[in-house]
A and B are shown apart, each in its own frame.
Chain A
C-alpha cells in the first residue's frame, strides 16, 4: 500500500480541526428556550426566559411553558446562571422572541443586546419587542388565548404586521443595524397586556422610538400605521375614516392596497428641505349605509381628495412629533442627506439633532381608490 491513501485520510481528518462549531449535544438534555427577555432592578438585570417542559410521550406528549428568571450583573453570566434552576443546558437558537422592559429600554438597551450579537449560540433573526406598562416577567406569565407559549403567540403576532398595521416589527439584527447606522435611529414594536376576563393577554401595538440605544417615547397604533407607510412597508391594514358623501358624513372603511413613499432631500439655494411624496392606493371593503355607486366618478374623486387631506394631516402630525418631541431621526433623514448631499452632511453631522428640529419638511400625498371589493354597486335594501 503506498502512502497516498493514508495521506488523503489524514488531510480529511485534519480538515475537521479547521471547522468552527463542533459541539456534541444530546437533544434530550437541552432546555429549549422559547423566548427570553430582560428586566431591570436596582441590583442588576433579570434574565427571564420561557422554556418548554414536555410531559408524556408519543401522542400524549404535551408541551407546558415554564417561566424562569435569574438575576445577574451581565447578560452573558445570566444565560449561564439560568442553567442552574433549569437543571439542563438552556438552548437559545430556537428562541422565538426577545423582549426588553420599558425600564431597560429607557436606560439603554446596549447591555442587553450586546451578547445577542456577540454570543456564539445566539441568533439575531428573532423578533425584538419592548414591553409597555409591564415587566417582561409579567408578559411571559400572561395567558394567550390559543397558544400555550407566550413567545409563540408574540412571534405569530409579529408576522401579522402588514394586516394589523399598528406596529413596525423588527428583528434583533434589524434594530442593531439601524442603531449603528449614521443618520438613522431605531424603533421597536411594543407589547402590552390587556385584560380578557380574568386573564391578561399580550398584544402588540404601537412603537417605541429610540435615540442612540435609549427609548425616548412612544407612538400609538395609528401613528405606527403612518410610520409604517413612511418606511415604505407594504400594507394591507384597514382603517375607518369619516367621509363626506354629498351632504352626509359616513364612517367608511378603507384598506391599503399599495403604497409608494419617496423621501428625498432638496436643496433650494442654501436651504435644505425634505420632500416626502406618498402615493397610496385603496380598496373600499365596507361603505356602511352610504349607498355609494362607484360608477359616479365625482364621488370617487371627492373621496380620494378627502383621503389625501386626511393622510397629509396625519403625516405632518407624525413628523412634528418626530422633529420636536423625540428629536430622533427614525425616518433616516440624516442618512439620505449623507448620501445625496455629502458636503452638506459633513458640515452638519455634529449638530444634526439641532438641524433635524428645524428641518423644513414638505409633504405631498396622492391617493387613488383602485378597488371596491368585488362589487361596485351599493347594497340597497328594498321593500
Chain B
C-alpha cells in the first residue's frame, strides 16, 4: 500500500494532497493517478445531477467490496433526480447531500484524502461533487460472507450450533442475541497500521470490573503493528508472560462460550476477519471446563471434568513415568509387567530415552501431517501411522510394544484437553528430559517446577491458579466439580465482578 507513504511524504508540502480541492478534475486526478494508480478494481462512476445548475459528480468505490445495486439506486439515482442548490459549496453542500440526497444509513463526509481513500479501501462508496471540497462516504457493504455454521473444532452434542464467522458485525450480533440487554457494551478500536482491523471489546457493564475493561482497552491501544490478520496476534501481544507456558487468554469460536464468560465478569475481544474470539482473564481451570458441562447433567459434567484433569496428567506424565520406571526404578513395576516389558525391549537397539522421545516426535509429525491434509489423504496418513509405524516398528524391534501403548495413551488423552494441547506437549518433553537424567526424582522436581511457574503466573491481574488453591465452597464449585446450577449462587470471586449474585436462591422449583 504505497499511497500511505506518499501521502505522508507530501504532507508538509501544503495543500497538494492533504485536503480535497474544489476542482473535481484535480481531485479525481489524484485519486486516479496517484492514490489508486494501477488499481483496476476501483470503479469511477461519472454522472450529472439534475439540471438546472447540474454539476459533474463522481462515485468512487472498490469493485466487489460494495453493493453496486444499492449505490446506483440510493446514491446515483437521487442525485440525477434532484437539483443541487445553486452556488452552494463546502460544508454546506456536503450537509445538503447527506441530509437530502443520499438515502443511506451510514453517511459521513470528510475533506481528507487519507480518510476518503481509507474509506474506499474498506468498501465504502465516496461521492465527489464539482465545486465541493468535501467527499461524502456511504456505507454499502457487499462482499461475500461465510454463513454461520457449527465450528468444527468445537462441536458439541448438546448446545447451540452457531459459530462465529469472519465478519465482526455478525459476530457481535451473535453475542448480542444471547445477551439482549442494554448492559451489554461494545467498545470499538482499530488496530494495525496497514490492515486497520476493527476490534470490538465486549463485556457486560453491570458485571465486568471497570479496571479490567480499562486494562484491556489500554493494552490493545498500545499495540503498534502493521497488520492483525488473526486474533492470535492480539493474544500474543497483550497476554501476560511467560509466553512459553499455558495460555493466559482463551480463544473460542462459539458465541455461547463468549456469552458465558462475559456473564461471569470476563471481557471478550472480537476481531474482524477471524471467527476466533478472545476471552480474558483466562485461568488454568478454564482449560478443563467445556460448555457442555453446563448444559448436561451436573454429575455427568463433573465426571467429564475429572476425566479431563486425569487426561492432562496422563498426557504430560506418562512418557516421563514410563521412562523413569524402565530406566531407573524397575523394582517399582509389578513383577509380571517388568518381565514382559524387559522381554519386549530385549532386541530394541535404543535406550529408553531415545525410544520415548523418538516415538513422541513421530506421533507429533504424523499429527502435524494429518491436520492440514484433505480428508482422503488424511486417511492415508493414519494407515501409515497405524500399520507402518505401529505394527511394523514393533515387529522390526525398533521400538518395544509397551512404548506404542504409552504413545497411544499420551496422544489420546492429549486430545481430551485439546485447548492446551501444545503447552502439554512441551511440558511432556520437559518432564521426559528431567526423567531421563534423574529418574523419578527428576520427574518430581519437574512437576514442582511447573507448579511453581503456574502459581507465579497471572492473567490480567488474576492469579493463574486461583480457585484451584482457594478452599472456599463457592470458589470450588466450578473447578474439579461442576455443581448444579442451584448451588452456583455467586459468580467467581477472583474476577472481581461488580455484581456477584448469579441466581436468586428461590429459582429452584420442586414438586410440593
Query: A residues near B, CB below 8 A?
Result: 8-9, 12-13, 15-16, 19, 22-28, 30, 32, 52, 54, 56-58, 61, 63, 91, 93-94, 96, 121, 123
B229 at the A interface (CB under 8 A): no
**Shortest 4 CB-CB contacts between residues of A and residues of B:** A93-B331, A54-B343, A28-B345, A27-B326
Cβ distance B7 to chain A, nearest Cβ, rounded Å: 43
Q: Does the CB pair A27–B449 fall under 8 Å?
A: no
Q: Which residue of B lies closest to A28 (CB)?
A: B345
Chain A residues in 8 Å Cβ range of B439? 22, 24
A8 contact from B342, B397, B452, Cβ within 8 A: B452
Set A16, A27, A58: member contacting B445, Cβ < 8 A = A16
B343 near A57 with CB under 8 A, answer: yes
How many angstroms from the CA of A204 to the CA of B248 in the assembled complex? Answer: 64
Cβ contact within 8 Å between A54 and B330:
no
Given A26-B351, A57-B344, A94-B331, residue A32 in contact with residue B397 (CB < 8 A): no
Closest A residue by C-beta to B391: A58
- With A and B bound together, what is the CA distance between A61 and B339 in angstroms? 10
Q: Is the CB of A32 within 8 A of B327?
A: no
Given known pairs A16-B442, A93-B331, the reply for A57 and B397 (CB within 8 Å) is yes
B106 sits at the interface (CB 8 A): no
Q: Tell me the residues in window 11-42 of chain B with beta carbons closer than 8 Å to chain A beta carbons.
A: none
Minimum CB–CB distance from B331 to chain A (whole Å) comes to 3
Please give 12 more A-B residue pairs, beta carbons under 8 A apart, in addition to A25-B330, A30-B330, A54-B346. Answer: A15-B445, A26-B345, A26-B352, A27-B327, A27-B338, A27-B352, A30-B342, A57-B397, A58-B395, A58-B401, A61-B344, A94-B335
The interface of chain B, by Cβ under 8 A from chain A, is 326-328, 330-331, 335, 338-348, 351-352, 394-395, 397, 401, 438-439, 441-442, 445, 448-449, 452
**A27→B394 contact, CB < 8 A:** no
Residue in contact with A57 in the complex, picked from B339, B346, B448, CB distance below 8 Å: B346
A63 and B328 contact, CB distance less than 8 A: no
- Complex Cα distance, B338 from A9, in Å, reads 34
User: In the bound complex, do residue B441 and residue A63 qualify as a contact, i.e. CB atoms below 8 Å apart?
Assistant: no
B441 touches A52 (CB 8 A): no
Chain B residues with CB under 8 A of A27: 326-327, 330, 338, 341-342, 345, 352
Asked if residues B346 and A28 are in contact (CB atoms below 8 Å), the reply is yes
Given contacts A25-B327, A58-B401, contact A63 B347 (CB under 8 A): no
CA distance A16 to B342 in the complex (A): 27
> How far in angstroms is the closest Cβ of chain A from B495?
29
Give the docked Cα–Cα distance between A121 and B331 (Å): 9
Residues on A with C-beta less than 8 A from B394 are 57-58
Q: Looking across the interface, which residue of chain A has its beta carbon closest to that of B436? A: A24
Contact B449 A12 (CB under 8 A): yes
Q: How far is the CB of B241 from chain A (nearest CB, A)?
A: 12
**Known A8-B452, A26-B351: A32·B438 in contact at CB below 8 Å:** no
Say whether B330 contacts A22, CB under 8 Å: no
A-B contact pairs, 15 of them (CB 8 A): A16-B445, A25-B327, A27-B330, A27-B338, A27-B345, A28-B345, A32-B342, A52-B339, A54-B339, A54-B342, A56-B343, A58-B401, A63-B343, A91-B331, A121-B331
